[in-house]
Chain A
Amino acid sequence: MSSKKSAPQRPDQTDHLPEQSRQALHGFNKALDDATRMVVKGLGAERWQALTIPLLSILLSLLVISVVILAFGNNPLEVFSSILAGAGWFAKSNYGGGQSQLTDLINLATTLTPLLFAALGVVVALRCGLFNIGIAGQMVLAGFIATVFVGYSGMDALVARPLVLVIGVVVGALAGALIGFLKYRFNIHEVVSSIMLNNIFMYVVAYIIKLNYHDPVSRNMRAASSDARLLTDPVHLGEASARLPVGFLLAVIAAFVLWFFLTKTRQGFEMTAVGKSPKAAQYAGIKIGRTVVFAMALSGAMGGLAGVTHYLASVPSIAPNVLPSVGFDGIAVAFLGNAHPLGAVLAATLIATLSTGATYMSSIVGVRQEIAALITGMILLFTACGGYLKSWLENKKSMIADADRAAADRAAGSKGGDGA
């Protein structure tokens, strides 16, 4: 169709330029065109966009951060490599007593676990069209109840640890379901009720801690007994030794189970339908209220697991009057992972790497460790533009296709001998 129009040469606006610069301009245009084609070819495949676009975002943000690092007179490559070393992906130049690359990796897994659970909680809710920013509150509540009822009980590890996990699931699910219930029964937006409940849980838990469970030295909650904590007894790994995080494997398995659940089961289908179009779901005979409450309960259960794996593994105990930042970082991880359970695994690994590696990097290179958060922010910033990039690619793709068709037409025309 449009081939007819693009075939006649446009009036050349470069006529007034000297021959040399005209050629240069053409050359530049050609290069630009080639570059566009390459980008479109590389990123245009829709099947891979879930991967290619985040990767591009990561690349771009590293580029921007490099400029910042350079501006402060440091070597960006050194910064990045020491972050990776700090997280255990590379060997450090030397290790303190009882530490090794393996223990660093185990540390990474320990911090990654609650982050992944938190992100999975956000993902599940997003699938159902809900935005759960109440993960932080669900974490505090679950961590608190588990510490009180199991952490101080002196139960045997074999009973205590599973019980802690069960408490995490149950308490989190109930707290999550409450948000869902408030939404469907009273029309309270889940963002608002999450914010309210976050604060309510935080203050009430702080009150009870200060009343009964205060540790006067740390000013935090008294720590749970090591039998109740979700870390194994120290395992010897050559020279080094470390406690293994019980929840890590569980979190990865949870990601796979959720993926299967969301895409392959009836309940997952119903949740997705409600998330994409509540009206159509209702029309299809799906019970909206029940689905919303169920989705929030599932999301909350993940939040609860994030809570117990955070407070009973990666940090010593609960600090009163503070909401865990992991609960909010989980939102970032979920978006970075394209609201997909398996994407969340990759994204959580990346974010946990940045945050655990930054301390070591800071001590070696001297760039403030807050740079890690900055990198995360930048990656998210670019990821947020992914939708625009997608439509840009669509556009360019059809433009290139049109141009190619026009060129082919022209070629065919000149072969026929009647070229205009």
Chain B
Amino acid sequence: MSILDVNYAAILVDGLSFALPLLIIAIGGIYSERSGIVNLALEGLLGFGAFVGALFVASTAGLFAAHSDLPMYFSFLFAAIGGGMFAVIHAVLCIKFMANQVISGVVINILSVALTGFFTSTINANFFGQASERFMLQTSPRWDIPFLMDIPILGAAFTRVYPFMLIILVVATFFWYLLYKTQFGMRVRAAGDNPQALDAAGVNVSRVRFGAVVISGVLAGIGGMSFAYSISTNFSPAIYMGFGFLAIAALIFGNWKIIPTFAACLIFGLTRSAAFNLLPVFDASAAVLDLALAAPFVVTLVLLAVFGKKNMAPRALGDVYDKSKR
């Protein structure tokens, strides 16, 4: 085979199908951290969201027509709700109980793995009568986007598209707008820079931060559900592959801003899909895949070493805001 046989369309689409869920999770992280709350919990949030979404699909299996896509759309809704609800724990611990935010994140992750693992197998055993540690999902449909797919070269990105990619694009745009253009977004960013100023302006800092943390859960849940569809077509504890941490790396790489973070996600996604798609073409041994998969992490480290000095975390990130201490 030669360079001509490379399926560039697949590289683009696969790359995006990895980059976009990562992006939406990272945007969740950006909300939380721009509001001043460290969020190492993304991994746990995306897993719990996907668990709730998959649980919905598994428990309503008989209610929908055999090949209906409706359960899939609902699963994203429920994943968002599930992730948001789980994020409430992080919000309560960090804001109400003034816990160390790093510890809280670690707790959420451990709790998420434990809860979903325990309940997946217990529910399977007790309610569905099968010994399994996963909830099966239907295969996601893939769409070709009319007109856009006919654009030369870039058109490839619009063939065999997962529906969740469009969902994420819409949701991401919405949350970009919310963060940078609206009243709420302005307050979120102020809470992470100088909560005292926000408080003095008569805004309830805790409430703003609470909202931002819940949003991080909602978005992580959507991302987690996407990974469940694109990578495994089921929910199992295997979903905890470190994508949440990767999203954190992406958002730090993107300097806590949405557009540069998108670029970071694209680097991760495209190098990954290029590795998967190029290796067979060059008859490389399967082992080389692992080396290729390590590449984006090396690239990120090098880029951070070169450009990292200018990175500036939100000024009040990690500070417990205690109203009584002025």
Contact = CB atoms under 8 A, between A and B. Distances in A.
- In the complex they form, whether A and B have CB atoms below 8 Å apart is answered with yes
Interface in A149-203: 182, 186-189, 191-193, 195-200, 202-203
Q: Which of A320, A329, A332, A370 has the most CB of B within 10 A?
A: A370
Q: Contact size class for B?
A: 35 or more
B18 to A, nearest CB: 14
Contact of A182 (B96, B288, B297, B301): B301
Given A189-B252, A196-B301, A207-B288, A332 B294 contact: no
Contacts of B102: 131
A368 interface: yes
Q: Which of B107, B109, B294, B309 has the most CB of A within 10 A?
A: B107
Contacts of A210: 285-287, 290
Interface in A357-389: 368, 370-371, 373-374, 376-378, 380-381, 383-385, 387-388
Nearest to B252: A192
B126 A196 contact: no
B248 A192 contact: yes
A384 B93 contact: yes
B103 A323 contact: no
Interface stretch (B114-122, B174-182, B194-202): B114-122
B114 A374 contact: yes
A206 interface: yes
A384 B107 contact: yes
A387 B126 contact: no
A262 B97 CA distance: 29
- Of all A-B residue pairs in the complex, the 7 with the closest CB atoms, nearest first, are A373-B114, A377-B111, A203-B294, A210-B287, A370-B118, A207-B290, A388-B97
Given A188-B304, A370-B117, A374-B114, A199 B242 contact: yes
Contacts of B113: 373, 377
Contacts of B253: 192
B293 interface: yes
14 contacts: A187-B311, A188-B304, A203-B291, A328-B109, A332-B110, A370-B117, A377-B113, A380-B110, A380-B111, A384-B99, A384-B104, A385-B93, A388-B96, A388-B98
Contact of B309 (A186, A193, A321, A332): A186
B143 to A, nearest CB: 31
B326 to A, nearest CB: 17
A131 to B, nearest CB: 6
Contact of B122 (A191, A329, A368, A388): A368
B255 to A, nearest CB: 12
Contacts of B104: 384
B308 interface: yes
B100 interface: yes
A375 B37 CA distance: 26
Contacts of A192: 248-249, 252-253, 304
Contact of B118 (A204, A323, A368, A380): A368
Contact of A195 (B98, B103, B106, B249): B249
Contacts of B245: 133, 195
A109 interface: no
B138 interface: no
B324 to A, nearest CB: 10
A204 B294 contact: yes
Contact of B308 (A187, A211, A377): A187
Q: Contact size class for A?
A: 35 or more
A133 B125 CA distance: 34
Contacts of A380: 103, 106-107, 110-111
Contacts of A189: 252
B298 interface: yes
A378 B248 CA distance: 25
A57 to B, nearest CB: 11
B291 A384 contact: no
B99 A388 contact: yes
Contacts of A335: 103, 106-107
A331 interface: yes
B242 A195 contact: yes
Contact of A381 (B96, B111, B246): B111
Contact of A72 (B97, B110, B111, B126): B126
A374 B304 CA distance: 37
A4 to B, nearest CB: 23
Contacts of B316: none
A415 B249 CA distance: 70
Given A186-B304, A186-B308, A192-B249, A387 B122 contact: no
B298 A188 contact: no
Contact of B97 (A328, A373, A385): A385
Interface in B99-149: 99-100, 102-104, 106-107, 109-111, 113-115, 117-118, 121-122, 125-126
B233 interface: no
A376 B106 CA distance: 12
